[in-house]
Structure formats: structure tokens, C-alpha cells
Homo-oligomer: A and B are copies of this chain.
Amino acid sequence: MALIVQKFGGTSVGNTERIRNVAQRVARARAQGDQIVVVVSAMSGVTDGLIRLAKEITSLPAEREMDMLLATGEQQTIALTAIALHALGIPAVSLTGAQAGIVTDGVHTKAKIRNISPAQVHQLLDAGNVVIVAGFQGQTNDGQITTLGRGGSDLTAIALAAALKADLCQIYTDVDGVYTADPRIVPTAQKLPEISYDEMLELAGAGAKVMQLRSVEFAKKFNVIFEVRSSQNDNPGTIVKEETQSMENVVVRGVSIDKNQAEVTVLGVPDQPGQAARIFRALATAAINVDMIVQNVSHAGGLRVTDISFTVDKPDLLKATHVIEGLKPDLSFTEVTADENICKLSIVGVGMRSHAGVAARMFDVLAHENINIGMISTSEIKISVVIDLPDGDRALRAVHQAFLG
């Protein structure tokens, strides 16, 4: 008898018909003799509707009250899912995050899970119930309702799987699994049967938005094996787990493109210690997320200056250039340029570590396609380049063809 955590996102529970489908899937899994814990999100649209109500009242609602408000979305879904299981004759009990023993810190709207006391869940499972837990939420030690922020339901599932020592954690979503590239752009892209945590992290960071980074990080930290699969069919998905030796035989696991990036370049920065720190401290203070950073070697010549380029999310571009302009009194530089018309192309694979020349081959492919490379950034298992946005899809297909066929 295995213990399986199954997580269903907002689309999978988007109406009562879909909730009934989820119940049938859970019932089938239980019929195999396994213990099942179900984690659900709010029905799609519910959270946005609640946010809209709050914004009708004020543009800046208190975060504690937003948690109080938004936690109701998942609470509704757990009750409806339990009701749907009952209708199939399956004993089931719903639990809020608090009732399930999920204790978080007190940072409202983006709380971190501190610990989970799984006694209550185990007890209900042992009594023969399917246990349905509200994703995305928990409570502080002194009983305040908190939410975990974006991707919080995935995190609930993975953290519960860790706390319950589950045999498997299944993340049901609207895609079939993790692909070698976005199939909408690369028709030859293939679903990966398995992928390592690190590859999944790099792909997520590279724009393949299957899951939020923090859930994958959490799974890696607590070594929770999970499967990303579709709630629309019974196809096996992609297993995400610790790296195995055989994974290294594949040089490139996947190729991704992030079209949500924009590039900022600060020209003519004095090549003195602390100049770069100043820039990025100011951006961090403004809560602007910086992805790639490249600093060129200083120009030779009388006054040693350098250019610093970085990428930010497109919606943050204007804010980022304002922040830099605001540094002018303290930081001498020539000019700030901004370019929205770019994208980031990445190749990811743990096999890169033991295969030389991967970067050279990638650049060759792009050169052959006559595509110009703006910035380059590499990690041990990822190579990212910034290229012009209109070249993006063509570059993705060419690189996928070269490495993954």
C-alpha cells in the first residue's frame, strides 16, 4: 500500500463537472489500494474574483486580510471535492491548511512553511478516508491564516508529501509533462520521461513555466520525487527526481525561450569596486527581479570604464531604468539604454558538465542561422543567450534540432 499525494490546479477543478472528474480519478487511484491525499487549488477564476472585490474597495488592501479573503477559495474546493467523493461512495474528509497542520511564518501573502504536523492526516488516512487538503494556505503558530503566494498549492503538495513520507507526489496540470521544448513552437518536441531537480529548476528559471521555482527547490531539498502529468488524460507524465547517472548520457535535456525579458545596459560605469553592487542593491530595494547580468571587461584607455548589462521582466523595465537614472547623482555613468525587443534562449542539461564544447556548438548553430547573440550567461548545466525577439522561435527550433532532433 502506497501513500500518494495528488495535486489538482485551478483549471482541473474549474467547475463542478471537473471536480467530479477529479473525484473519479482519485477513486480509481484508491481502488488500487493506496492511501490518497488530495491537494486542490481554488476553482479557476475564484481567486481573481476575490482580488477584484478587494480592489473595488482599495488599491492596497492589507495583506493579512487578503489572506483571510483568498484562503476561502481553496476551502470551497476541498469541501466540494469531498462532496464529490462521497457521491462516489468514497469516505473523504476535507481539511483547511491549518487543520492539516501546516504551520507557516507570519509573512502574509507569501508565507513560508515552517513545519507540518501530519498526525491528523495520518489518522484520517488510517481510518480509510481520502484526505483533501486546501493548497496555498496555512496558519501561524498563533492562529493567523496565511497564504503561500504564487504556486503555493504545488508547494503544499510537495511539503505534505515530504512530511507524510509519501511514496509519490503527482502534480496534475493542464500540460502532459515537461517537454524538450514548447511544443507550440517546436512541433518535434518530446515529453521527457524524467528530469533532474536541477534541470527542472534551470528550465523553470529559463521560462518554461510548468512550476514555480520554489516548489522544485523544496522538492530537491527534501528529496520528494514528484510527477508532472495531465488531469485530462491517463498518459504518464514527467518524473522529477534526484539526478541519476544515466541522465548524464543526455547532453541537453531541454531548450526553452523566455520572451518576457527586457535588457538594460548602463554604459560608461567607472571601473571601481562597488559600482555594480550599488546598481543591483538599488534594483533589489525596488523589488525588481534581475535575471542575467553581464559585465564586459573594461575598455582599455585613459579613464577605465565598463558597461553593465542585465535583464529584467518586461513589466519592470520602465521602473528599472528610472531606478538607474535616480542613481545619477551618486554614480557616474554615460547613459542607460533599454531594449524590450529581445528574448532569452536557454539550453539545459546535467550532461553538459561532462561534455565540452556544448556552448561552442550552440553558438555555431545560431551563427549558421545568422542570428546575433547579445548577452551570454552560463551555469554548470545551462547556457543562456539573449537574442533579438523576432529571431526567437527560429533559434529555438534550430537549437532543438541540433541537440534533440
A contacts, CB < 8 Å to B:
16, 19-20, 50, 53-54, 56-58, 61-62, 64-66, 68-69, 71-73, 75-76, 78-80, 82-84, 86-87, 93-94, 96, 99, 143, 145
Contacts and interface: CB of A to CB of B under 8 A. Distances in A.
A69 B80 contact: yes
A66 B79 contact: yes
A75 to B, nearest CB: 5
Nearest to A77: B69
Contacts of A61: 83, 86
A83 B99 contact: no
Contacts of A58: 83-84, 86-87
Contacts of A78: 68
Contact of A76 (B16, B50, B56, B94): B50
A88 to B, nearest CB: 9
Contacts of A19: 57
Nearest to A50: B76
Given A68-B94, A94-B65, A57 B83 contact: yes
Contact of A57 (B57, B69, B76, B80): B80
Contacts of A64: 93
Contacts of A76: 50, 53, 69, 72
A80 B58 CA distance: 10
Contacts of A79: 54, 65-66, 68-69
A39 to B, nearest CB: 15
A57 B75 contact: no
Could you tell me the dominant secondary structure of chain A's interface residues? helix
A62 B82 contact: yes
B71 A83 contact: no
A154 to B, nearest CB: 22
A16 B53 contact: yes
Nearest to A87: B58
A135 to B, nearest CB: 15
B72 A57 contact: no
Q: Name which of A19, A66, A73, A79 has the most chain B CB atoms within 10 A of its CB.
A: A79
Contacts of A65: 79-80, 82-83, 86, 94
Nearest to A143: B99
Nearest 3 interchain pairs by C-beta: A69-B79, A72-B72, A68-B79
A56 B16 contact: yes
Given A57-B84, A69-B76, 8 more contacts: A57-B80, A58-B83, A58-B87, A65-B79, A65-B94, A68-B78, A71-B75, A96-B145
A96 to B, nearest CB: 8
A171 to B, nearest CB: 24
22 contacts: A16-B56, A19-B57, A20-B57, A54-B79, A54-B83, A57-B83, A57-B84, A58-B86, A61-B86, A62-B82, A62-B83, A65-B86, A66-B79, A66-B83, A68-B78, A68-B79, A68-B96, A69-B75, A72-B73, A72-B76, A75-B75, A96-B145
A290 to B, nearest CB: 32
Contacts of A56: 16
Nearest to A19: B57
B62 A80 contact: no
A176 to B, nearest CB: 27
Nearest to A17: B56
